[in-house]
Structure 1
Amino acid sequence: VLERHGTITWGAGVRDAYEATIELITRAEEAIAEKKRGRRVFGGPRVPVLDPAARRAAALALAPRLRGRLGHDRRVIVTFDDAGKVTEFTSSLEAPALSQVGPATPDHTIYTKRLPCFVPLERAPESAEVLWSAVEGAIATFVRDYTAYFEAHREPGAELTDPLPRVVLVPGLGMFTAGRDRRMAGIVDDIVHHTIDVIGNASAFGRYVSLTAQDAYDVEYWPLELYKLTLAPPEKELARRIALVTGGGSGIGRAVAKRLAAEGAHVVVGDLDEAGAKKTAEEVTAAVGGGRAIGLPMDVTSETSVRAAFETTVLAYGGLDVLVSNAGIAHSAPVDRMALADWERSFAVNSTGHFLVAREAMRIMKAQDLGGALVFVATKNVMSPGKDFAAYSAAKAAEAQLAKVLALEGAPHAIRSNIVNPDAVFQDSKLWSDDVRRERAAAQGIGVEQLEDFYRKRNLLGARILPEDVAEAVLFLASDRASKTTGCTLTVDGGVKDAFPR
């Protein structure tokens, strides 16, 4: 048995060594089970664990602010875990001391740092503000102590790395873990679960011990490990960012979700068509890796549905950096023959829907205090409305005005708001239904089979506009390349002179 590390077994052959390992581990498991029988783990509860609904509400309020604090200089993905094992440990009598002993094995230090940040709550938090005050104070203490730990063991040439915690333990609530992406935050979470098991089992025999501070420093600041970090490829343009795309189940939304993910973003895909949203998310994860996308049902006309989508985003990734408000529908009819229900449905989706998602995004982005990007997919019809297209053109004009107001309101918080105006994007589009195609062809006095070619020929470049073309414009406005651009309208229409921004 190698202290603070593991076991070494041997035999005449590989099979003998393997069986010796199994026999040794089995003996250890039996001994642990015997010692733990009837024993109160971690000394029993110290702080009452909130009920599931209260934990969820507290996590939703805390996560964006926590992500903003941990990612102030370099964004992180933050995950929340309130599994029974976690809440039992964090809320226990012995957690304040046991959590500060050290990692279960030396290599864990590279992922989790030597210690987690433990929030010293004596009772369940009375409000979100009380909770945040306690967490903020605990983080400040962690940074001070970590810096002192570094300085006490510093060797010539060593430089302080990020002094912020990777793990935050909150009594009564659970834990938050941070990493450069969802995969890394998940690894940290798994390590903490493993460490809780080790601490519980070791404590059944006596006092849990770990590395000395010097040994932990030697692992964390091992020159070879630090050198390996310098060899990592540069991060992609949207690495560490979280984007939510509405109407992502097809057409422009699908292309946008895939393009943002290709540049490093974690993407939440919302669509009224749940199957379509999940298909897009599956395509993203197949291309860039697990954990990088979520597909979910989302009705942008419903406050409840919109709020649920943003809550899923916060609990999965910690917050939001980019909103692409894209969901839309089209209805074509002359004003004098239009039903009130069709007018109202167009405004519900194409105007109010953008308001509902933008409102949720603004709340999260302001709580994070990291800035953000709102990108509204509008239409050429904002600048150049179409005959027999009043419900669509008017509602989309309202969307564009909303985006401009958000540029005014978001600027003090470094939240940018911009518009993309595409035109006639037929490929993979549900907006261009058979009915809409017939109606638009009739309005132009042409046959349905001529419609796509008609739209192509009317733009100056004679270009067919694809979802991927719009996605490139969205990527630019979502990225830091557009960090000094807000309130802007970017056309992707091949050049429709009546729709020039002016």
Structure 2
Amino acid sequence: MALVTGAASGIGHATVRRLARAGAHLVLADVNATGTAAVADSINDTYGEGRALAVPTDVTDETLVRRVFREAAVAYGGVDIVVNNAGLVTAQAVEDTTLAEWQRLHDVLSTGYFLVAREAVRLWQEQGSGGSLVFVGSKNALAAGTEIAAYSAAKAAELHLARCLAEESGPHGIRVNSVCPDAVIEGSELWSEDLRQERARNYGIKAEDLEAFYRDRTALKVNITPDDVAEAILFFALPQSAKTTGAVLTVDGGIRAAYVR
């Protein structure tokens, strides 16, 4: 049984579909209640009633995070896999970054991931069964860039949180690993027109050339899709990675500055 945050679109949606194909029952958590319900309905239509449950959730709200875990336990008897994937992106020069914007990014990407991870660890300790916790990080957690400091710092905090949890929770049979993709534009609600325009301006290109720019800067000359990331998440979720924890798997086509050392 898998609980996925940020499940309404992009990487989260692709992960839900991939886990469903692998046989998982699912709890879908997202602040987008309508989108989450639509994804759950699609899974249930395809795989049978009861395979997916949508629970509107804001990961920055401690009460709502606790509720989604309670509902998962009641509906399916427990949780085996948690994918920490709620997302938010803004980009601006540091001198133009407001305290409110900095705090909003850290609320979702750092504190929100902590709240979800904490409830997962609590539940797995109570179950006594262990579990797999997968953080969806970012290339920006590993490689510095310009005009995206607030987002990158929040993602870096998230990445190190995952490593600390791997060390602390290992004796309980809990594995914690991270997947770090780069520039997943396809199907993502995060890539607004404003964000596209800002990143294109930062790189000195036209917005319509952004995907080609991201492709051409990789060693493999590829764009990254939600399905690519979902496959990496599946690896960490399932028993084939049973002896792996504290790891970082990049899904970025090869970005030299983000090679894990």
TM-score by length of 1: 0.52
- Asked if residue 414 in structure 1 is aligned to residue 154 in structure 2, the reply is no
2: distance between equivalents of 1:295 and 1:452? 32
- Asked if residue 495 in structure 1 is aligned to residue 260 in structure 2, the reply is no
Match of 2:36 in 1: 277
- Asked if residue 475 in structure 1 is aligned to residue 247 in structure 2, the reply is no
1: distance between equivalents of 2:124 and 2:196? 39
The Cα shift of 1:280 comes to: 1.1
Candidates 115, 128, 140, aligned match of 1:381: 140
Match of 1:336 in 2: 95
Match of 1:439 in 2: 198
Can you list the C-alpha shifts for 1:390-445, whole angstroms capped at 9, x where unaligned?
11100000000110011011110110000000011111101111111111111111
Can you list the C-alpha shifts for 1:344-366, whole angstroms capped at 9, x where unaligned?
00000011010000011111111
The Cα shift of 1:388 comes to: 0.3
Equivalent residue runs for 1:250-269 within 5 Å: 250-269=9-28
Candidates 305, 312, 317, aligned match of 2:76: 317
The Cα shift of 1:371 comes to: 1.1
Give the counterpart letter for 2:103 in structure 1: E
The Cα shift of 1:320 comes to: 0.8
The Cα shift of 1:385 comes to: 2.2
Match of 1:189 in 2: none
The Cα shift of 1:307 comes to: 1.2
Aligned residue pairs, count: 261
Q: Greater relative contact order (Cα 8 A, min sep 6): structure 1 or 2?
A: 2
Equivalent residue runs for 1:4-43 within 5 Å: none
2: distance between equivalents of 1:442 and 1:297? 35
List runs of 5+ in structure 1 lacking aligned partners: 1-241
Structure whose CA Rg is larger = 1
Candidates 425, 428, 432, aligned match of 2:184: 425
1: distance between equivalents of 2:220 and 2:127? 42
Q: Which 4+ stretches in 1 moved above 6 angstroms?
A: none
2: distance between equivalents of 1:302 and 1:445? 38
Match of 2:150 in 1: 391
Can you list the C-alpha shifts for 1:33-58, whole angstroms capped at 9, x where unaligned?
xxxxxxxxxxxxxxxxxxxxxxxxxx
2: distance between equivalents of 1:310 and 1:385? 35
1: distance between equivalents of 2:133 and 2:64? 19
Match of 2:120 in 1: 361
TM-score by length of 2: 0.98
Match of 1:372 in 2: 131
1: distance between equivalents of 2:12 and 2:110? 17
RMSD: 0.7
Can you list the C-alpha shifts for 1:14-48, whole angstroms capped at 9, x where unaligned?
xxxxxxxxxxxxxxxxxxxxxxxxxxxxxxxxxxx
The Cα shift of 1:332 comes to: 0.4
Candidates 273, 296, 316, aligned match of 2:55: 296
Give the counterpart letter for 1:436 in structure 2: L
2: distance between equivalents of 1:283 and 1:391? 35
